[in-house]
Amino acid sequence: MAMKNHAPVLLMLLALCTPSVWAATPQSHERIREAALTYAQAQSQSLPGKVSIQIGEIDPRTVLRACAALEAFTPSGSQMIGKTSIGVRCNEQPGWTLFVQANIRVTATLLVANRPLSQNTVLGENDFSLQSGELGQPGILTDPAQAIGKTLKFGIGAGQVLRQDMLRSPFVVTQNQTVEVRVHGKGFAVRASGQALNNGAEGQNVQVRMASGQVVNGAATKDGSVDVRP
C-alpha cells in the first residue's frame, strides 16, 4: 500500500531524470558550422587570389533547439575577410541566433611601393612592384590598372602595400583656375569663363564664380571645363 502511495512521486522523479534523448533533439553544431562555411564560400567568390576559410568550433555547452530553416548572414560591422564572425539564425519559431568565429584568408598579388612616394604623386608602372601576400583587409589593390594614373592622397614609404583609400583620380580642375563653363539646356548651349573655387576630378562637382559674381555648380570634364545642367 505504501508503494502505491509513492508511485506518483516516483514517476515525477523519473520524468525529471529522463535522458536528454527523450527531449527534443538539440541542434547539430556541425550543421551550424556547415551553414556558416557555405555562406562564407559564397561571399568570398569575388575575392581575388586563393581563398582559405576556417570556421571555429562552437562551445559544446551551447544547446539550441533543432531547426530546419538555418540562415547565415554578415553581422553589422563585420567584413568577410580576415578574422571575423558569421551569424547563423533559425527562422522558425521560437528562433535563435548564434555567432560563429571564422578566419577568411586570401593570398593574392599585391602592389607594393618600390620607394618612398610623396603626396600628389601620379602613379606609373615603375612606382610599384607585384608581390604575393595576404589580403588582411578590404581595399588592398591587386591589379596594376587600379593604380596607374591615380594620384596619392598622402605620402607613403617604400614597401607599403597600396590601398584604394590612398588614391584619388587626378584633378582635371584646380582651385583658382580659370575654366570654361558650358551651360546646356533644351535647344541651347552657352559658354562663359569663370574661376574654379575647388579642385575636382573628372565627374566631381566643382563650384565656379562667374564674372558677375554668381556661383554655379557643375561637373568637371576630362578636358578641364565644367558642365552645368540647368
pLDDT of residue 118: 96
What is the C-alpha separation between 81 and 47, in angstroms, rounded? Answer: 9
How does DSSP assign 94-150, residue by residue? S--EEEEEEEEEEEEEEEEESS-B-TTPBP-GGGEEEEEEE--STTB--SGGGTTT-
Q: Which domains does the chain have, with CATH numbers?
A: 24-106 (no CATH), 107-168 (3.90.1210.10), 171-228 (2.30.30.760)
Q: What are phi and psi of 84, to 5 degrees?
A: -150, -175
Q: What are phi and psi of 23, to 5 degrees?
A: -80, 180
pLDDT tens, residue by residue, 11-31? 444 444 444 443 468 999 999
pLDDT of residue 188: 83
Cβ-Cβ contacts under 8 Å for 200 (sequence gap 6 or more):
171, 172, 173, 206, 220, 226
What is the C-alpha separation between 81 and 105, in angstroms, rounded? Answer: 7
What is the C-alpha separation between 48 and 143, in angstroms, rounded? Answer: 10
How much is the pTM? Answer: 0.65
Mean pLDDT score of the chain, rounded to an integer? 88
Reading the chain (230 residues) residue by residue, the pLDDT tens digits are 444 554 444 444 444 444 444 346 899 999 999 999 999 999 999 888 899 999 999 999 999 999 999 999 999 988 889 999 999 999 999 899 999 999 999 999 999 999 999 999 999 999 999 999 998 788 899 999 999 999 999 999 999 999 999 999 999 999 999 999 999 878 788 899 999 999 999 999 999 999 999 999 999 999 999 999 87
pLDDT of residue 230: 72
pLDDT of residue 24: 65
